[in-house]
Amino acid sequence: MTFADVGGGALRAALALALWGLLASAYAARERDGRALQSARWSALAAFVLVVAASLSMAAALLAHDFTIRYVALNNALETPAYFSAISLWAALEGSILLWTTILAGAVAYVAWRGTREIPRLATTALAVMFAMLAFFLFLVVSPAADPFVRIDPAPLNGRGPNPLLQDHWLMGLHPPLLYLGYVLFSVPFAYAVASLILGEGGDRWIVATRRSALVAWALLGVGIVAGAWWSYAVLGWGGYWAWDPVENAAIMPWLVATAYLHSVMVEEKRRMLRTWNVALVIGAFALTILGTFLTRSGVVNSVHSFTQSAIGPLLLGYLAAVLAFSVGLLLWRAPRLADSGPVGVPLSREAVFLFQNVLFVAATLTVLLGTLYPLVVEAISGAQLSIGSPYFDRVEVPIALALLFLMGVGPQLPWHGASRATLERQFAAPVVVAGAGALLALAVGLRGAAAVLGYALAAFVVATVAQEVMRGVRARRTLHGETAAGAFVNLFRRSGRRYGGYVVHVGIALIALAVVSSQAQAAEAEATLAPGGSMQVAGRTIVFDGLRDVVDPQRTQVVADLRVLDGGTGAALAPALTYYPNATAGIGSPGIRSTAGDDVYAILAAYDARSRAWATLQVRVIPLVSWLWIGGAIVGLGAVIAALPPGRRHSSAVAAPSGTVASVT
């Protein structure tokens, strides 16, 4: 039996199980039939095991260089190192869809097996929805559109090797799976929301049941986006990390909607408001994950990520249309049952801030969507080809981002139901002073633009509000429980993880804002052609060019420029390179980066004397604070972990929160 036999067979068996599970769980939900439910649950587990087996056989085929499989022949070579062979599982379309299907199968098994033996009717219905989605993706991976196990005969002696850009950095092993986990896990809240609509439940049981999975999906997507920005920065060699590329937009849109959702559910839990809105947000976030996959996988938009055009595009578009028609139709049908306690009213209240925050997040999403799809629309109508560049996104999204930073500081400081004047003074006196200090700091480090200074001020404002909350929380615990300062600090995060984890996320976002402001506004750049021994100046740094050398690896050859950054006498080494892979006609630039807390020195070998190695054209950038972008991303992830952990003493077994206990926010 070959890897292809095992993998292809496992996927077909999993498809049969998913279809059976769909029928069994739908029957179980309708008839409250325990045996059908058990059968569905075992189907979910078995399907997951089979899809994992299929993924493992693909990974094994890649590691074993089994070129009888077309995917392996196209994305692997004998010289490919083991790490990059293994992660070539997601180097191209078919493998990526297989990874997606694997994660989805895991999510189905999670929905089937979470909680106790008797899972409630809501979860059973959600399970049926999950099975339907899994069946679609399993259909994709066994259909010619995205079958990863298609054979090639005769098998080539060597494969083409993975895409050069994908074997250049270890982050490639992290960024796509994180993003996919985030994308796919949104299907859990979506399935529960749809199940709640199908059953006609008016309440927010579905929100309580999926609070953690929504948070985890959001966090994984967010960290995956930051990891992608980091990969772009470290590999693509253009000195930036975000270009409003359609694929970046595809990833950020569901994240924006999910961020709105995570906040507006608090309004529903606390005030029984915005019920229809929350269902709409979950549907929107989920639909945007499919739209993102469609945009990136169908080849309708040109992007750095567009791998191949394939027949999968129309299938995904059909899936998106079906999902939208079904869920929006359900929502319209059931909306009368989603009665709110009343509209949001008092302007200076936390629920009002959440309302504005939601308006801004949705506006940000729609404007990004507009900029992403506009070229498609124009080309379809008039045939003219155009692109919407960064200026559009910068001009529209930067003010929205600043307004959101402001609300991020204001929201947690305002009580529910409205604030009095005394409350406002108590909550905002110190943070406003700190915000002023932030603005002065921005001016002191040489920032001048209004948006940049405001960005610093608002980031300082946010950090100050969080610090104030934490200090007050510690003080309260010390007086109430007689804890030590350190103990109170730790318990704050353990006992009220959702609230204080959220604050940690806010600090991470504030750091990201600072990093974006400084790296965008204050990067210095110089380009020079140097002979060995020559030097150039960038932002007060001297960079010495020591010469070129050739490095030959089995899978690639490199021309490396040896540089030294002279600051403080240590002379940190930089080695930007042009890398040549046998499957690419031209060199891939690999930047040399020296990161410190203050700034990054980022060097690119732009051109060199191919005959005698007598000169090299070097581009060097000094980019302030950019490493805080990655650190901020990690802090966002940490905050999400704190918020997702069960409150109180940590229980190792995560038991589904019983309905009725709404996790405390305040």
Query: Within positions 227 to 286, which residues make up the interface with other proteins, using CB under 8 A?
Result: 235-238, 243, 245-246
Query: CA-to-CA distance for 280 and 610, rounded, in angstroms?
Result: 58
Query: CA-to-CA distance for 621 and 600, rounded, in angstroms?
Result: 8
Query: CA-to-CA distance for 610 and 276, rounded, in angstroms?
Result: 64
Q: Which of residues 96-125 bind other proteins (CB under 8 A)?
A: none
Given a contact cutoff of 8 angstroms between Cβ atoms, the answer to whether 51 and 60 are in contact is no
Q: Which of residues 136-195 bind other proteins (CB under 8 A)?
A: 163-165
Query: CA-to-CA distance for 98 and 419, rounded, in angstroms?
Result: 51
DSSP 151: B
Return the ∠ at Cα 275 (arms to 270 and 277), rounded to 5°: 120
Give the nearer residue to other proteins in terms of CB position, either 29 or 234: 234
| Contact with other proteins (CB under 8 A) among 49, 396, 634, 663 | 396
Backbone torsion region of residue 482, taken as left when φ is above 0, otherwise alpha when ψ lies between -120 and 50, otherwise beta = left
**What are the φ/ψ torsions at residue 345 (nearest 5 degrees)?**
-125, -60
Per-position x/- string for 283-312, each x denoting binding to other proteins as judged by CB under 8 A, each - no binding: ------------------xxxx-xxx----
- Classified as helix, coil or strand, 561 is strand
**What are the φ/ψ torsions at residue 185 (nearest 5 degrees)?**
-70, -15
Task: Considering only the stretches 128-136, 258-266, 312-320, 360-368, report the one whose residues sit in contact with other proteins under the rule CB under 8 A.
Answer: 360-368
| Contact with other proteins (CB under 8 A) among 290, 295, 344, 563 | 344
Which among 275, 256, 261, 272 has a CA at the least distance from the CA of 214? 261
**What are the φ/ψ torsions at residue 594 (nearest 5 degrees)?**
-120, 110
Give the nearer residue to other proteins in terms of CB position, either 437 or 663: 663
| Contact with other proteins (CB under 8 A) among 32, 35, 417, 448 | 417
Q: For residue 2, state whether it binds other proteins (rule: CB under 8 A).
A: no
Q: Which of residues 374-393 bind other proteins (CB under 8 A)?
A: 374-375, 378, 384-392
C-alpha distances (whole Å) from 22 to each of 7, 112, 186, 187 are 22, 12, 19, 15
Give the nearer residue to other proteins in terms of CB position, either 42 or 392: 392
| Contact with other proteins (CB under 8 A) among 111, 209, 400, 516 | 400
Give the nearer residue to other proteins in terms of CB position, either 306 or 595: 306
Task: Considering only the stretches 356-364, 447-455, 501-509, 535-543, report the one whose residues sit in contact with other proteins under the rule CB under 8 A.
Answer: 356-364
| Contact with other proteins (CB under 8 A) among 103, 352, 536, 643 | 352
Give the nearer residue to other proteins in terms of CB position, either 140 or 368: 368
Task: Considering only the stretches 20-28, 253-261, 339-347, 457-465, report the one whose residues sit in contact with other proteins under the rule CB under 8 A.
Answer: 339-347
Q: Which of residues 552-611 bind other proteins (CB under 8 A)?
A: 578, 584-589, 606-607, 609
C-alpha distances (whole Å) from 437 to each of 431, 441, 454, 499 are 10, 6, 11, 26
Helices 246-271 and 211-235 pack at an angle, to 10 degrees, of 150
Give the nearer residue to other proteins in terms of CB position, either 28 or 574: 574
Return the ∠ at Cα 393 (arms to 387 and 395), rounded to 5°: 125
Q: How many chain residues bind other proteins (CB under 8 A)?
A: 73
In the numeric block, the tokens 């940690």 are attached to 504
Given a contact cutoff of 8 angstroms between Cβ atoms, the answer to whether 251 and 224 are in contact is yes
Structure tokens at 597: 């807390």
| Contact with other proteins (CB under 8 A) among 473, 502, 508, 592 | 473
Residue type, 221: L
Q: Which of residues 64-103 bind other proteins (CB under 8 A)?
A: none
Per-position x/- string for 433-472, each x denoting binding to other proteins as judged by CB under 8 A, each - no binding: ---------------------------------------x
Query: CA-to-CA distance for 269 and 491, rounded, in angstroms?
Result: 24
Per-position x/- string for 612-631, each x denoting binding to other proteins as judged by CB under 8 A, each - no binding: ---x-x-x------------
Least distance to other proteins from the beta carbon of 93, Å? Answer: 10
Query: CA-to-CA distance for 456 and 362, rounded, in angstroms?
Result: 24
Give the nearer residue to other proteins in terms of CB position, either 237 or 497: 237
Least distance to other proteins from the beta carbon of 449, Å? Answer: 17
| Contact with other proteins (CB under 8 A) among 161, 284, 371, 639 | 371
Give the nearer residue to other proteins in terms of CB position, either 173 or 399: 399
Per-position x/- string for 526-555, each x denoting binding to other proteins as judged by CB under 8 A, each - no binding: -xxx--------------------------
Which among 651, 657, 661, 633 has a CA at the least distance from the CA of 179? 633
C-alpha distances (whole Å) from 349 to each of 344, 421, 468 are 9, 12, 19
